[in-house]
Chain A
Amino acid sequence: MLGGEAGVGVVAQVPHLQAPTVDYGAIAPVLIVLGAACLSVLVEAFVARSARWSSQVALTLLTLGAAGAALGVHLYSFAADGRNVVTLAGTISVDGPALFLWGTLLALGLAAVLLIADRSVEPGGAFSADAAVRPGTAADRAQAEGAVRTAETVMQTEVFPLFLFSLGGMMVFLAANDLLTMFVALEVLSLPLYLMCGLARRRRLLAQEAAVKYFLLGAFSSAFFLYGVALLYGYAGSVSLARIAEASAGSNRPDMLLFCGLALLMVGLLFKGSVGPFHTWTPDVYQGAATPVTAFMAACTKVAAFGAILRVLTVAFEGTRWEWRGLLWAVAIASMVIGAVLGLTQTDVKRMIAYSSVAHAGFLLVGAIALTAQGLSGTMFYLLAYGFTTLAAFGVVTLVRNADGEATHLSQWAGLAKRSPLTAAVFAFLLFALAGIPLTSGFTGKFAVFSAALADGMAPLVVIALVASAVAAFFYLRVVVLMYFSEPAIDGPTVSVPGAFTTAAITLGVVVTLLLGVVPTFALNWAALGAFGS
């Protein structure tokens, strides 16, 4: 009879549960970040408001340092024996790519949290002092001005626990060895991000609109992801990536479930990586969110999403690559074309970098679908390089301000080099890196990804990617020309002198961008250290 056996299984006594073995050393970085996130909630609850900012900043920086140290300790033993740790009953795989991307996430998270914590560029901080005040009222204007640093105008610090939860979710997301863990991690990383988008101090209607849009579309894409998981479970009888690979190897099961499941799963993953044509939320959310949050999103979410894409494609779907590869070719081309062409028409600098991120997602996908060791290390190197460049670029965006906050319209950036040569030079350098000019990390990253794709026989795709790079280079260079060869606007913006935190974040981004362009060998070797284990 149909379902007879399953019925008996439910009624029968639950078998004695074996506690899964946990390799605490390997997953210590994740445990530290998530544990500190819980502590951070308690700080919000019990520390007086005047002391919260300093406690939260200290706690967050300490956490990132401790997680980095724990990662370093495990990396030391990993470098000696190269052993991939699969722990927590096979749900988390701490392997070479996971370790590299965890390190990347922690480093990018450090730079992002420096931008988030800054209270000097925007007096009182970039985040709302009282999120319950209705936008447009007198109370809202008072908290937006924030010039007088009273208890009412200093930023709320909920953004720190949200940041830590999101970062912890990202770390689990890219190390998840089965699809259910991956889904839970997806939610853990997404839900805090939705909230963080709506916390901006200025232009709060825009920020709240961005948060709602991101939430609705994100919930929709999570549903796609979950539906894909369900179909793949129906196909393979398991959500484990390795089991799915085994099931698809030489079986006569109907492929329909497998490929429908993969397609739906990829929609969810590509959405998070803001790969076109699943990118429509990107410009609005990047523009509306407070710029430090945008920097965090642009850098870290991309690392997490592409880490997961690489893992899913390599571990679970390598055997069937010839069936699905054509479709992802099309997605990569669409993403590069959409990013490069629509980027040309943008007049807002944050939207322009958003479209640039869509184009970069296309380049990343070119490397990700190569599914070779070279493609894996190239894509991971690209993530590291792109993350620091885009983070520093958003850091510079926070500095160019007028009375209403950030002056993001490109016309206001005209002649910036005459007002502030250093800011213009730094931004021009970062734009060169985004365009992929030699001696910047952008060039090395593109070279690594495109040569991996060429070696894997994807010459036509590489040609399209090169053309897209050239088109995209035009709109980066247009901004450089605007900054250096235009007359400054009469009522143009002023460039704030950044405090220590923002200076540190931008300096970190610029130095990494330069180092990865000039001496990339160390990072490339590290990226090539290991393959996925399951």
Chain B
Amino acid sequence: MLQPYVPLVLLLLLAGGFAVFSIVAAPHIGPRRYNRAKLDAYECGIEPSPQPVAGAGRMPVAYYLTAMLFILFDIEMVFLYPFAVAADSLGIFGLVEIVLFIVTLGFAYAYVWRRGGLDWN
């Protein structure tokens, strides 16, 4: 009965073993070169932007609005891609539904726009 789960257990063991092996082995076999970037929170890519000094490291609250708007339209995209792929088989019904969805988001967009959510200040 549990036969089909054996590969799963093996995979779990393999993954766990690899993680443990990497962590244990890396300090012993890797080179050690320390520099400033190594001590940063995020080693790759660009320098994290400096925290604002004024206001005890607070972020401008306008970022919050931008993030919310991003999520709003990001989710729109998340739904539009699968729709575009399956548009043929979804037919007219799918088209009507997706248009309704975009129009509903349009209400939110109109509200944000008219009430100054897109002005940076």
Which chain A residues have a beta carbon within 8 Å of chain B's beta carbons?
Answer: 1-2, 13-19, 38, 41-42, 44-46
Contact = CB atoms under 8 A, between A and B. Distances in A.
B19 interface: no
9 contacts: A2-B7, A16-B91, A17-B91, A19-B91, A19-B92, A38-B104, A38-B107, A42-B111, A46-B110
Contact of B86 (A2, A14, A19, A41): A14
B121 interface: no
Interface residues of B, number: 19
Contacts of B5: 2
Contacts of B111: 41-42, 44-45
A58 to B, nearest CB: 19
B94 interface: yes
B114 A41 contact: no
B107 A17 contact: no
Contacts of B114: 45-46
A16 B107 CA distance: 30
Contacts of A2: 4-5, 7-8
Secondary structure call for the A interface: loop
A520 to B, nearest CB: 42
A17 B93 contact: yes
A15 to B, nearest CB: 7
Contacts of A18: 93
B112 to A, nearest CB: 8
A15 B110 contact: no
Contacts of B115: 44-45
Given A2-B7, A2-B8, A42 B93 contact: no
Contacts of B89: 13-17
B4 A41 contact: no
A159 to B, nearest CB: 14
A40 B113 CA distance: 15
B108 interface: yes
Contacts of B91: 16-17, 19
A359 to B, nearest CB: 39
Contacts of A17: 89-91, 93-94
B108 A41 contact: yes
A42 B104 CA distance: 11
Does more than half of chain B's interface fall in helix, strand or loop, or is it mixed? helix
Contacts of B113: 45
Contact of A42 (B86, B94, B110): B110
Given A14-B89, A45-B115, A1 B4 contact: yes
Interface in B1-36: 4-5, 7-8
B108 A19 contact: no
Nearest to B108: A41
A15 B88 CA distance: 10
Scoring A2, A16, A44, A45 by chain B CB atoms within 10 A of each residue's CB, the highest score goes to A45
Interface in B71-111: 86, 89-94, 104, 107-108, 110-111
A1 B4 CA distance: 7
Given A2-B5, A14-B86, A14-B89, A41 B107 contact: yes
A17 B91 CA distance: 7
A149 to B, nearest CB: 21
B99 to A, nearest CB: 14
B93 A19 contact: yes
Most buried by A among B7, B110, B113: B110
A15 B94 CA distance: 13
A13 B92 CA distance: 18
Nearest to B61: A132
A1 B93 CA distance: 36
Contacts of B92: 19
A17 B92 CA distance: 10
A243 B4 CA distance: 27
B4 A45 contact: no
A23 B39 CA distance: 63
Nearest to A43: B111
Contacts of B90: 14, 17
A519 B65 CA distance: 53
Given A1-B4, A17-B93, A42-B110, 13 more contacts: A2-B4, A2-B5, A2-B8, A14-B86, A14-B89, A16-B89, A19-B91, A38-B107, A41-B110, A45-B107, A45-B111, A45-B114, A46-B110
A44 B111 CA distance: 7
Contacts of A44: 111, 115
Nearest to A19: B93
A170 to B, nearest CB: 19
Nearest to B113: A45
Contacts of A15: 89
Nearest to A3: B4
Nearest to A47: B114
A18 B92 CA distance: 10
